[in-house]
Amino acid sequence: MFAGCCALRLRMRILGALRGGARLKDAQQRSFSSAQVSQKDCSLPNNCWNQDLKRLFEQFMKKCEDGSWERIPSYKPQQDQDYKTHLLDAKKIKEEQMSLARLFTRSLEDGLGFEYVMFYTEAEKRTVCLFQGGPFLQGGPGFLHGGAIATMIDGTVGTAALIFGGIVMTANLNINYKKPIPLLSTVIINSQVDKIEGRKVYVSCTVQSADEKTLYTEATSLFIKLDLDKSLQ
């Protein structure tokens, strides 16, 4: 159990590094630098979360009390966003752009883009994402862009593959869009590791309304485990 716990912590640290934001829970952060600790945990409620998102968050936090589920914190860097588009030197522009690199799903201001929190349970090999899509994620008028849903699906199944399979890369994402998702509504992305065969990790998921009465989207995915020793050579 201890070994499993340590392995999980290691995987979560790598998850944090890979995803540019996710970190272990507060008590486990002491070994991180003070700069990282001062970052804002975006997977906690803010004023822009709607009632459904807050209610579901509380429900899952209750499930965490006995340790069967865990919340995955997710940090956004408080970087200087004063981006100078007037510069004419191509090299300087590229350097400046790269210095601003940040996780896609945490790149927008509170309430405008991806508002979400993820939880996982080891016993069931499941990861759940509670997600509210903001006004900057619009596709057709009043609805979420298909790419924004794909992004949160990739994030959720990817987190499941990483926690339960190890360091992975997305190889395939197959998404069936059944109904459009209204902008600013809350959805539940429920992902499940279906099987692990050698280096292949198969994860599926559903995207449902907050009351679980509407199935918006279904997806399957395949991840390939990376051999870090080989990758670093």
| Contacts to its own copies by CB under 8 A | 17-20, 46-48, 50-51, 83, 85-88, 90, 93-94, 97-105, 107-113, 134-142, 145-148, 150-155, 158, 169-177, 180, 183-184
Tokens standing for 125? Answer: 């090999």
Count CB-CB contacts under 10 A for residue 81.
Answer: 10
Which tokens belong to 106? 């945490």
In the complex with its own copies, the residue whose CB is nearer, 20 or 196, is 20
List of residues 6+ apart from 53 with CB closer than 8 A: 45, 115, 130, 132, 186, 210
- Residue 154 contacts residue 175 (beta carbons within 8 Å): no
Shortest distance, position 175 Cβ to its own copies, whole Å:
5
Are the C-beta atoms of 113 and 107 separated by less than 8 Å? Answer: yes
Catalytic residue (one of 41, 52, 110, 154): 154
In sequence order, the 6+-apart residues with CB closer than 8 A to the CB of 70 are: 25, 64, 119, 120, 121
Element spanning 63, H or E: helix 51-64
Q: How far is the CB of 3 from its own copies (least distance, A)?
A: 27
Catalytic residue at 154? yes
Residue 69 or 203: the one with the smaller Cβ distance to its own copies is: 203
Nearer to its own copies by Cβ, of 36 and 97: the residue is: 97
User: Which CB atom, from 117 or from 137, has the smaller least distance to its own copies?
Assistant: 137
Active site residues: 154
